[in-house]
Structure 1
Amino acid sequence: MSAEVQLYISSVSASSVLRSQQSEVERVLEIKGINYKPIDISVSEALLEEMRSRAGDPDALPPQIFNGNNYCGDYNQFYEAVENDEIYDFLKLREKETQL
């Protein structure tokens, strides 16, 4: 069984860029049929710190993407993987693992 893709987001961001990036990541994951768990950092400061710690960047902003304990990357890295048709490698998935 594959590890689960986790997507750190913020449901209350004032940044239209951040909201757009989060929406794009979610849209691509849904179109590709990739199961993921959204984690809303706006719920608690602890989740924000968890995301930053896991990403290894004290200033990291959502969206940040993980597969299990493995850090995949941020929006820019995700976008590059989509453009290069390397989304499954980026997410550390094989295509057959994406759907239940």
Structure 2
Amino acid sequence: MSIKVFYSSVSGSLEIKKGQQKIFDVLNSKKINHEALDITQETKTKDLMRELAGNPTALPPQICNGNNYCGDYKAFENAIEEDTLESFLKL
């Protein structure tokens, strides 16, 4: 399995952009292999993100391990603060 990060390359929200960048920065710094999936490139990618999140209106960034949903940016941030990132990512 691999970590999938669903993100938007054309988000107009500065908050979303910052969150996405922090996720990528943390995963890169910890050398955690991950795949970046841009939901703006194909509708089916956005649909998959929302299906895995169990939320028809979910916004990026969303994180999964394979097809197992991990959480959104807020949950990711909490995992970092609580030093439970590996557990959060189901590694």
Q: What one-letter code is carried by the residue in structure 2 that aligns with 1:4?
A: S
SS state at 1:14 partner: coil
Aligned residues: 91
One of 15, 33, 36 as aligned partner of 2:34? 36
CA deviations 1:2-58 (Å, max 9, x no partner) are x10000000011111000000000001011110000000010222111110111001
User: What CA distance in whole angstroms lies between the structure 2 residues aligned with 1:5 and 1:50?
Assistant: 14
CA deviations 1:46-85 (Å, max 9, x no partner) are 2111110111001100110000121000000000000011
What's 1:98 paired with?
Answer: none
Query: Which aligned segments of 4 or more residues in structure 1 are displaced greater than 4 angstroms?
Result: none
Q: Percent identity?
A: 45
Q: Return 5+ residue gaps in structure 2 as ranges.
A: none
> TM-score normalized by structure 2?
0.97
Higher Cα Rg, which structure: 1
What's 2:52 paired with?
Answer: 54
What's 1:73 paired with?
Answer: 71
User: What CA distance in whole angstroms lies between the structure 1 residues aligned with 2:3 and 2:48?
Assistant: 16
Q: Return 5+ residue gaps in structure 1 as ranges.
A: 94-100
In the alignment, structure 1 residue 14 sits paired with structure 2 residue 12: yes
Q: Once superposed, what is the RMSD of the aligned Cα atoms?
A: 0.6
